[in-house]
Structure 1
Amino acid sequence: MAQAGDLEQIQFSCSICLDLLKDPVTLPCGHSYCMDCIEGCWDQEDHVGVYSCPQCRQTFTSRAVLGRNTMLAEVVEKLKKTGLQAAPPAHCFAGPGDVVCDFCTGRRNKAVKSCLVCLASYCEVHLQPHYDSVPLTRHKLADSTRNLREKVCSRHDKLLEVYRRTDQQCIFLLCVMDEHRGHKTVSAAAEKTEKQNQLGKVQELREAVDSLTRSAQAAAEDTESIFTQMIRSLEKRRSELKGVIRAQEKAALSQAEGLLERLEQEIAELRRRHSELEQLSHTEDHIHFLQSFQSLCVPPGPVHLPTITVNPHCSFGDVKKVLSDLKVQLEEACKNKFTEILQTGLYRNNYFTVILFFNIDCVVREKYSGTVELQVWAVPAVAHPAWDASLSQGNSSNTVVPGQTCCTTMPSSLIK
């Protein structure tokens, strides 16, 4: 029967606090929770604007109006009255590192909640009076925690309720009227909310910096890829132009070599005739002289030689001039485009607006384009050294005055 009771308790337990449902509400997806538990979860999702079920993760674009499930509440009340949750299973015994129940005797059970009014921790069994007794239901319960005495004022033996910002300590309300009169104080809940907001803004800053880092890395990779493609394109054009020059050189040399070969043949023929005429002039045979002289005196056919102009320096001067002009145009285009990139890209997008608070170095207010705007609300007693170095290297005309703004770059060491 105990196992059946445990099963009943699990079926009617809130999956957030793991206790029996208190003021149960049912979401559109069909899962049920304590009203305070699901409201607390959704309060943390307000900044996102999308709400989800903690179990099935079904999302809702608008925050549903939650109403108490009366039938389910009556069933849970009957479970409490029938005592189905009286005996905890064996796995509820406290183990090493667990917070133990202050009311168990013998082998103690694991505490599931701590009461900030009773200053004691309770297992599921001994916690039940806090749900059944009307006076105890007003007590504030929290997750089980150790050292509850640290939450009590040593002088008044009362729960600490106020946060003293002057020296960053938690005190009891009556302490404000005594030795802490005139100190700047707020409620512990208000200070917790402000600290959480500050931590949230610091997280936003880290995420913004991570986004900036990823964006810069992507831009650097794109730049490397594009310049590599440009270099390859220029190298291809250079190779093609060299090929054209070499082809023209080869054609001109081939033409010149053919012409030179013809000239050498004509010169050889003339030398041969000159030699034969020289021999013929010494012959005594008149008939042979006349017959041979007639054939040797026939002039060779006319040789039509093209006009050849040889430039001792270079015959590709126009190519050099065109390439020089192209180089100048390319350098000018690169210079203009780089200036445009620097003015419209890098200098406008990657800075953040930052606020200095008294108890924290910096948190981001919102992301802007242009410069880093520092809203100095209060100058801390110990400033971050990176800020001093950054401000001293910036515009000397910027004077840091509480309540006013100044512009400087944000040290990356603050967000590491």
Structure 2
Amino acid sequence: MSAASCLLTEDQFLCSICLDVFTDPVSTPCGHNFCKACISQHWDIAVQCQCPNCKEVFNIKPELRVNTFISEMAAQFRRSAQQKASSSSSEQHVVQPGEVPCDACTGTRLKALKSCLVCLQSYCETHLEPHLKNTGLKRHQLIYPEENLEGRTCVKHDKLLELFCKSDQVCVCMLCTVSDHKMHDVVPLKEGYEGKKAELRKTEAETQQMIQKRRLKIQEMNRSVELSKEGADREIADGVQVFTALKESVERSQAELMDTIKEKQRETEEQAEGFIKELEQEVSELEKRSSEVEQLSRSEDQLHLLQSVTSLSAAPPTKNWTEVRVRPPSYEGTVKRAVTQLEETLRKQMKKLLEVKLKRVQQYEVEVELKRVQQYEVEVTLDPDTAQPKLILSADGKQVNCGDVKKNLPDSPERFDSWACVFAKQSFSSGRFYYEVQVKGKTNWDLGVAKESINRKGKISLTPPKGYWTIWLRNGHEYQALAGPGVRLSLKSQPQKVGVFVDYEEGLVSFYDVYAAALIYSFTGCCFKEKLYPFFNPCNNQSGQNSAPLIISPVNQPEQASPQ
């Protein structure tokens, strides 16, 4: 029996109805074999009694008996298959929670490798073999394992859902297209799938964009909170400074007022003391004379009195005190003058505070404006076809400096031939754009934008009438906006990175000191009618003093080191 079973293929032991090994196999008059229960159930529901394989019709339902030979062969094959499954189960994965189990496993259920959309069953490696070898089963559609396979069939017609109704946005079977969904826009499932995938990708992109915008808004709000806290701290510091100065001024004015009053009182006391001392001196001398006169007047000796009167000392000189007064000092206006002086001090403090606040508001507005224009950042790379032959461009087109050797390059109309200038590859003829250039370590440079039609040969004039909107640095400290005539720029600090912003329709070109968050200069009222190109001039080396490159760098990126 074992040798005989080896001569038969595995497909010959499978019922073509249940696709499993025969159970109680029976043979039809046409010679095909089926499980007794499978063929009996098939004939019970079928309109005609016919063979499922060859479609031969039987007028009288055949009497079926179990084919003992095939039954024994199938039993042996089943045992062999079970032994094979048992030996390979260690190699296959036992189903775990969350995984799809094999529907054909009777003992320990293994993890399914595929699900069949025709059989609506999931199979492990062993039970999947018939679908990989049997010619009829190979036509079945296999997918990655899924649990709810019943959900892939039409509940009304019990047919596979293989179409998509775009009108009702539902999956349908073939029979649905001639009934409920007749005249609807129906496409194959794959086409509907691709369409929905495209919509989902678009939705995902839109969602990511919305997420990015909201993250930027969160950053903006967090920055606003930080700025608000910084502003609150500055206001508190300013308030403390003003009120401390006011308090000191009040205390100083109070002390000065008291000193003034005390000084006047002291002067009055000194004047009175002088008068009193003088009066007391006169009183002493008068009392002395009075004593002499009184003593002489008591004499009874007539001769003595008359002789003594002539020798009596003359009356001491005295002052006419009738109009002499010690008047209390007048304090009228003293307090008023002190308060007026205090008000003047407060006014000066308030003016100083307002000037500081105005500068801070202007600084904050520039910071906000810089954050706004940085949202229009664009990709900018240098165009080697426009570079003057002495210029050295980096491989990524982001850095440029001037060398000492003039390279032998084609003198095309696009190339600058005298000045060490280069354009970007990108041009702009509408909208807004922004980019940043690191200028650290340079003593001379030119930056800005220029029209496509500008003169690139010989001596050039970097002015708006000639199609250039630029600023430059000379001698390490002289900044100028080349507005024709030039405008000398007084900057508080030397920019290490310069931001360039252009609003094409508005006719605006602005330059920013990125790290200081300060506006350097703006060209306004410009009239643009053709393409604009970012313009760069690293200027000559000057014996190595200006050898550092101009570096195009992304927004919010730290300073880059110059190449050695």
Greater Cα radius of gyration, structure 1 or 2: 2
| TM-score class normalised by the smaller sequence | 0.3 to 0.5
Structure with greater helix percent: 1
**Greater relative contact order, per chain length (Cα 8 Å cut-off, separation 6+):** 2
